[in-house]
Amino acid sequence: MDWPTQLLLFVVSLVANVFSAFAGGGAGLLQFPILIFLGLPFGVALATHKIASVALGVGATVRNLREGSLDGRLTGFILLCGLPGVILGASFILFVPDRQAEIALGLLTVGLGLYSVFKPGLGQHARAMPRGLWRLALGGAVLFLIGVLNGSLTSGTGLFVTLWLVGWFGLDYQRAVAHTLVLVGLFWNGSGAVTLSILGDPQWSWLPALLLGSALGGYAGAHLAITQGNRWIKRAFEVITLLVGAKLIVG
């Protein structure tokens, strides 16, 4: 590729991942459509984007490990429930028509944003939640379903995890975003990337610029999330969910 195109890929990846790391998801809003606009078929663009998004998790992990933001038991639970769903979703998406699923996902994503808008106190403070067996089972089942979406679609699933951790597990936005960035960005996306690399055909020559932009954007966005606090994260989450949802609906 020529240098102007590589520079465009880097800038798009950097901007998309800064916002994604700050809000807790949504990098695909900019990055994935640009790959298609530049000429990649859907399956190739999906595999390329999924691999590049792993670097978001790397950058965010480096920043969050310095803060000690992660709950070890919750981290293990999210991985245990979500990873099988990610692999399942990534295994089937290349063989399934996706337009209807994208519209439904878009409507649900807009609903998440509006729910947060009309709940002013949501995620501003951590809450002690009951951890009974049925509650953990339901929480894990929803994480599995979000994992399926994460493996199969590109935009918005990190936002689902963020809001689920806030609403069901009682985390504030700051800690929820930290878990989402590390676990979804690094491990869930990593599993999806490996699966899609085996089944699909990523555009390897585009990945250096995308990976560099994702890693730097992930670190910078995670730093903003740590330093700016829950109120600004909540506002960013609402803006990104509404934009991602609208993009999925419009196509």
Q: Kindly report the pTM of this predicted structure.
A: 0.77
Predicted pLDDT of residue 210? 93
pLDDT at 138: 92
141 against 246, higher pLDDT:
141
Residue 152 predicted with pLDDT over 90? no
pLDDT at residue number 102: 66
Helix ranges (H only) for the chain are 3-23, 31-37, 42-65, 72-92, 99-117, 133-152, 157-167, 173-179, 189-199, 207-228, 230-250
Number of domains into which the chain is organized: 1
Q: pLDDT tens-digit profile of 18-34?
A: 887 877 777 776 787 78
What integer is the mean pLDDT of 50-63?
84
Write the DSSP symbol of residue 187: I
Q: What mean pLDDT is reported for the chain?
A: 81
* Predicted confidence band of residue 1 (pLDDT cuts 50, 70, 90): low
Please state, in angstroms and rounded to a whole number, the distance separating the CA atoms of residues 185 and 197: 17
Residue 42 pLDDT > 80: no
- Domain range enclosing 104: 3-250
| pLDDT tier for residue 73 given thresholds of 50, 70 and 90 | confident
Arithmetic mean of pLDDT, 68-77: 81
d(CA 79, CA 81): 6
